[in-house]
Chain A
Amino acid sequence: MNLDELYRETILDHNQSPRNKKELENPTKTVGLLNPTCGDQIRLDLQLEHGKVTDVGFTGHGCSISMASASMLTDAIKGKTVEEALALAGHFKAFLTGTPSPVTLGDLEALQGVSQFPSRVKCATLAHNALEKALNEETR
């Protein structure tokens, strides 16, 4: 087992200096999610305008994989439409089980190594599940 396959530089960097780790002042949507097996928590704030994600922030605590994944995801969805953001979350989750993504995942691709560590997939998808929960409510 090669730890560096899991903890790539990009992940360690996002964990050390998370992007968008903030609470929004008047978010359109706020959703909290718990990972009951490890106690990790995330809160995701979304600013939505005309069907677009204009700002996003996350807070919470968790392992380096879950925090880096949240940082990368928030970076990736800023400026995207709600549909694009949802599609991205879906593509990313499929990517973790070995399905290549039809769209570029940017920094999130660094999480590819997680697929070899099944017990950590739930860490990498925590923020994505929170996003889906928030946006599915929005599109319903």
Chain B
Amino acid sequence: MIQPLVDVSRDFPILNRRINGHRLVYLDSAATSQKPESVIEAVDAYYHQSNANVFRSVHTLAEESTTQFTEAREKVGRFIGASQAEEVVFTRGTTEGLNMVARGFGDRFVKEGDEIVLSPMEHHSNLIPWQQLARRTGAVLRYIELADDGTISLEAIREAVTPRTRLLALSRISNVLGTINPIPEAADLVHRHGGIVVVDGAQSVPHEPTDVQALGADFLAFSGHKMCGPTGIGALWGKMPLLERMDPIMYGGEMISYVDRETATWAEVPQKFEGGTPNIAGAIGLGAAVDYLTQVGMEAIHRHSLALAELAFATLESIPGVSVYGPAHPHAAALSFNIDGIHPHDVAQVFDSQGVAVRAGHHCAQPLMQWLGVGSTARASFYLYNGEDDIQRLKDAILETKRYFKR
């Protein structure tokens, strides 16, 4: 029996809620995770005790907030194996980080005829910035083709990557298929051709130990809110020499070195990329989330996510009329499925009446829906507060949905 990794009712009181007469079963963590008490308290304590702007003033509150903000950056840097904390740029989330690279790095270094390699499973946030970059520069998009089970083989990568590859943009874990992509191997190949590797870590950083060096990434973007942190905060990690050459995309306060009437020079990395007052409370909350996840242990979380997803895969696959997508093993924490003849929105609606929260739709991955040949899917996703009971409730909800729609 797979138990939750944490004391759910103590750490996540929201999960004690009853929805439509049932204990809430939250299976939508790939959209956003719930927040532990320690994170909520850290944000609360910052506003109650230390709220002040960072890097600007010398009074006590400003010293406290600046120290906490800087510590948060150090925690995030250690969490992903950064060489130095300054390689961590705070952003609003994955989307902003990827757009920063496409604009600030891409516009400067990607030229006409260069190739940008992607996969059809990318979230729109790791797709549209590159489409737009290609339009602006005349670069060409090339796609790594997926195997039948939605995985990416080394052969498929070798077919897509050429001497013209300037940039590979790939998610480590698919938010729809739960596939784990071979980033280190792909990075090796891309680096041999002189390209750079941008990793969308939105689904992987919350769920597996991340070491940017072992991953072979040049940039890694991820979001705080999917890893027990607050919304509106995330991070872009980049190798320092690349960040130094990359242009900022947001100009304004606290990102400059010297300004006169006609010109300006930029502050050092990371301040150069953090124009305007940052999300201080969010960063501190993300630091607290990193502490929480580290305490539970990322290896344990990784094993737990795989165990739940693979059990759910097998459970759902055995129900007649249910199609599950992606590989059986290894399958990361996001699991998409459809019930024959019932639209995913109707599925999610009946689930809600049973207190089971799942996502239905295209999951911001329309090219992947086209590849799957479906308009949309339902998706159950798991995290450290889920256990085997929740998979039983998922199964019961599917049976209830089939009964309701007489399928």
Contacts and interface: CB of A to CB of B under 8 A. Distances in A.
Given A3-B404, A7-B404, A61-B375, A38 B353 contact: no
A64 B346 contact: yes
A65 B350 CA distance: 13
Interface in B352-399: 352-353, 360-362, 366, 369, 375-376
B239 interface: no
B361 A3 contact: no
A39 B350 contact: no
Interface in A94-140: 117, 120, 123
A63 interface: yes
A75 interface: no
B75 to A, nearest CB: 35
Contact of B361 (A12, A38, A120): A38
Give the interface size bracket for A toward B. 10 to 19
Q: Is the interface of A mostly helix, strand, loop or mixed?
A: mixed
B375 A6 contact: no
A15 B349 CA distance: 16
Contact of B376 (A1, A39, A117, A123): A39
B365 to A, nearest CB: 10
Nearest to A3: B353
A38 B346 contact: no
B257 interface: no
A41 interface: yes
Given A1-B20, A3-B353, A39-B369, A64 B343 contact: yes
Contacts of A62: 343, 345, 375
B346 A37 contact: no
A18 B183 CA distance: 47
The residue in A12, A38, A62, A65 that gathers the most chain B C-beta atoms within 10 A of its C-beta is A38
B350 A38 contact: no
A23 interface: no
A38 B360 contact: yes
The residue in B349, B353, B405 that gathers the most chain A C-beta atoms within 10 A of its C-beta is B349
B176 to A, nearest CB: 12
A39 B343 contact: no
Contacts of A123: 345
A64 B407 CA distance: 14
A63 B353 contact: no
Contact of B349 (A37, A61, A120): A120
Interface of A: 1, 3, 6-7, 12, 37-41, 61-65, 67, 117, 120, 123
12 contacts: A1-B20, A1-B353, A3-B353, A38-B345, A38-B376, A39-B361, A39-B375, A39-B376, A40-B375, A61-B343, A63-B345, A120-B349
